[in-house]
Amino acid sequence: MADRRFDIVVFGATGFTGALTAQYLAGHVPAGTRWALAGRSQSKLEDVRRRLGSDFADLPLLPADASDPSSLREVAQASRVVITTVGPYIRYGEPVVAACADAGTDYVDLTGEPEFVDQMWLNYHARAVETGARLVHSCGFDSIPYDLGAQFTVEQLPEGVPIAMEGFVRVGGTFSGGTYQSTIEILSRLRQGAAVARERRAREPRPSDRRVKGVAGMPHHDDFAGGWVVPFPTIDPQTVLRSARALERYGPDFTYSHYLAVKRLPVLAGLVGGAAGVAALAQIPPTRKMLLTLKGSGEGPSPEQREKSWFRVRFAARAGGRVVRTEVSGGDPGYSETSKMLAESALCLAFDDLPDRGGQLTPAVAMGDALRRRLVAAGIKFEVLDGGP
pLDDT in tens, 141-193: 999 999 999 999 999 999 999 999 999 999 886 655 566 677 777 777 778 99
Q: Is 114 helix (H, G, I), strand (E, B) or coil?
A: helix
Q: Are residues 94 and 165 in the same domain?
A: no
Assess contact for 200 and 126: CB atoms under 8 A: no
Is residue 108 predicted with pLDDT exceeding 80? yes
- What pLDDT shows up at residue 39? 96
Cα 334 to Cα 300: distance, rounded to the nearest angstrom: 10
Same domain, yes or no: 150 and 68: no
Q: Which of 22-26, 86-90, 195-199, 357-361 has the lowest mean pLDDT?
A: 86-90
Rounded Cα–Cα distance for residues 134 and 22 (Å): 21
Measured CA to CA, the distance from residue 92 to residue 6 in angstroms comes to: 23
Residue 110 pLDDT > 60: yes
The predicted structure's pLDDT at residue 333: 86
pLDDT grade for 303, boundaries at 50, 70 and 90: confident
pLDDT in tens, 77-98: 999 999 999 988 999 999 999 9
Q: Is residue 377 part of a domain?
A: no
Whether residue 349 contacts residue 136, with contact meaning beta carbons closer than 8 Å, is answered with: yes
Least confident of 236-250, 283-297, 359-373: 283-297
Average pLDDT over residues 120-127: 98
Residue 348 lies in a domain: yes
pLDDT of residue 319: 96
- CB contact set of 132 (below 8 Å; sequence gap of 6+): 104, 358
User: For residue 295, what pLDDT is reported?
Assistant: 63
Q: Is 360 in contact with 317 (CB distance < 8 Å)?
A: no
- pLDDT tens digits for 263-299? 866 566 666 666 656 666 567 677 766 766 666 655 5
Average pLDDT of span 38-61: 97
Q: How many domains does the chain have?
A: 2
- Check whether residue 16 and residue 118 sit in a common domain: yes
The better pLDDT of the pair 309, 2 is held by 309
pLDDT for 153 equals 98
3-state helix, strand, coil in the chain (%, to 5): 45, 25, 30
153 with 95, same domain? no
* pLDDT value, residue 345: 98
Find the mean pLDDT for residues 25-46: 97
**Cα dist. 5→96, 201, 375 in Å?**
18, 38, 27
| Strand extents, DSSP E, the chain | 6-11, 35-39, 61-63, 79-84, 106-109, 134-136, 163-172, 211-214, 220-222, 227-231, 253-262, 310-319, 322-330, 359-361, 381-386
Whether 242 and 299 map to the same domain: the answer is: yes
Give pLDDT, residue 269.
61
Q: CA-CA distance, 96 to 136, in Å (whole number)? A: 12
One domain for residues 305 and 218: yes
Judge if 34 and 118 occupy the same domain: yes
- For residues 285 and 174, membership in a common domain is answered with yes
- 136 and 148: one domain? no
Q: Are residues 127 and 199 in the same domain?
A: no
Strand pairing category for 310-319 and 163-172: antiparallel
Query: Given a cut of 60, is residue 65 above it in pLDDT?
Result: yes
pLDDT of residue 36: 98
- Size (the chain), residues: 389
- Percentage of the chain lying above the pLDDT 70 cut: 88
Average pLDDT, the chain: 91
Going by C-alpha positions, the residue among 119, 145, 170, 109 that lies closest to residue 311 is 170
Are 306 and 336 a contacting pair, CB within 8 Å?
yes
Residue 334 has what pLDDT?
A: 74
Domain membership of residue 170 as a residue range: 144-332+382-386
Same domain, 135 and 151: no
- Global pTM? 0.92
Cα–Cα distance measured from residue 156 to residue 167, given in angstroms and rounded to the nearest whole number: 15
pLDDT at 309 (0 to 100):
84
Cβ neighbours for 196, distance < 8 A, ≥ 6 positions apart:
115, 118, 119, 122
